[in-house]
Amino acid sequence: MLLGLVWAGWHLPVFFIPGMDQSGQSLPVYILQVTALSVAMAWLYWHTRGSLLLAVLMHTAINQTKDIVPSKVVDGAGNPWGLSHSPVAWLTVLLLGLNAVYFLARMENDERQARVSSIVQ
């Protein structure tokens, strides 16, 4: 989850440059989305034995598909510190958040099983 906050911070400047993908988006919503995505990417990295290639491919897939259902084009958009009025943005946060909870629970369960397995051996 910390990686998601760092990831959002890395993209912070582009929220203030007109014409960039993130300009006009809600920064708080973006932080929630990116933090949830970082959990999914960490799970993928963990379960592919550290495959950076697959994590990069996931990031690329996200970048290429994010414009299919745009969530930033709403009336009054432009204040990056404001909350989004887009139902699509909030639905995305909800779905990504549910997936993040699922992946965190799976990672915790996998870690617990690994500890039990090492004790038994």
For 48-107, the pLDDT digits (tens) are 989 999 999 988 888 887 767 665 555 445 677 777 777 877 888 899 899 999 998 988
Range of the domain at 63: 2-120
Return all residues near 97 (Cβ < 8 A) that are at least 6 apart: 32, 36
What pLDDT score does 52 carry?
Answer: 92
pLDDT tens readout for residues 19-44: 877 777 788 888 898 999 999 999 89
Our CA angle for 27, 33, 34, nearest 5°, is 85
Number of structural domains, the chain?
1
Question: How far, in whole angstroms, is CA 114 from its chain's centroid?
Answer: 26
Give helix then strand counts, H and E, for the chain.
4, 0
Q: How many Cα neighbours within 13 Å face the side chain of 47?
A: 13
Q: Can you say whether the dihedral through the CA atoms of 50, 51, 56, 62 is positive or negative? A: negative
What pLDDT score does 27 carry?
Answer: 85
What pTM value is reported for the model? 0.72
Q: Which two three-digit tokens encode residue 88?
A: 């699509």
Closest CA to 34 of 83, 78, 80, 92: 92
